[in-house]
Structure 1
């Protein structure tokens, strides 16, 4: 299984996230309300977090400690997200999709060239 896929898997409940980040449940919910993190909801409506979410929460803490407010943090996250996007034939794609498209295109070119 790819490392990025594992890091994106929502497997941690909020209680574990609180222990790992030293944040309160209220703080975590606040950051979710402001769309800084996006935990997955189970069928029972429980939040489940990924390792990527933990990284985002730790980054939020660091930015707040540097004096950046929530609006500034939103801009930082938006810039990072934009930097991680690529386009293929005019369509925005994420990094994992990009790799898949490149592999598909290489296979297609290989068939065309008779290799």
Structure 2
């Protein structure tokens, strides 16, 4: 398993998720049946939930406590997923734009200017005597 995002790793059995979310195992299975959460299955066909799944179940519980029905919950979760995907797409586009637009020399010049403007480069350096209390 190669998970770049550790929060997506399927780690928790349903018993632990039940304790973390204060939902019964039956409720969790029901939300899975309604496609509100999709845990992965182990080789032995046991449900394994990620941190994201736990967060999603807590959000579902909160929405139900506020009186939102399952159709409304599906819509809220779908909207949030779209917002997250749009945000990730914008970040990727900005990162690639910065990588394409700035040469290494320009980047160094920009960073130096920002350091000068912040006053960081003009501060007196700390000498070893000032740090002596941290060394034995």
Change (3 A) 1:9 1:109: same
| CA offsets 1:66-113 (integer angstroms, 9 cap, x no match) | 110010000000111111223xxxxxxx93x886787677667779xx
Equivalent residue number for residue 76 of structure 1: 76
Change (3 A) 1:98 1:41: farther
TM-score, normalised via structure 2 length: 0.63
Gaps of 5+ in 2: 107-136
Change (3 A) 1:11 1:100: farther
- How far did 1:38 drift? 1.0
Larger of the two Rg values belongs to structure: 2
TM-score, normalised via structure 1 length: 0.73
Structure-2 separation of matches of 1:40 and 1:98: 29
**Segments ≥4 residues shifted beyond 4 Å:** 97-111
Change (3 A) 1:99 1:44: farther
Secondary structure of the residue aligned to 2:38 is: coil
Question: CA RMSD of the aligned region, Å?
Answer: 2.5
Secondary structure of the residue aligned to 1:12 is: coil
- How far did 1:21 drift? 1.1
Aligned length: 103
Structure-2 separation of matches of 1:11 and 1:57: 15
- How far did 1:43 drift? 1.4
Gaps of 5+ in 1: 87-93
Equivalent residue number for residue 67 of structure 2: 67
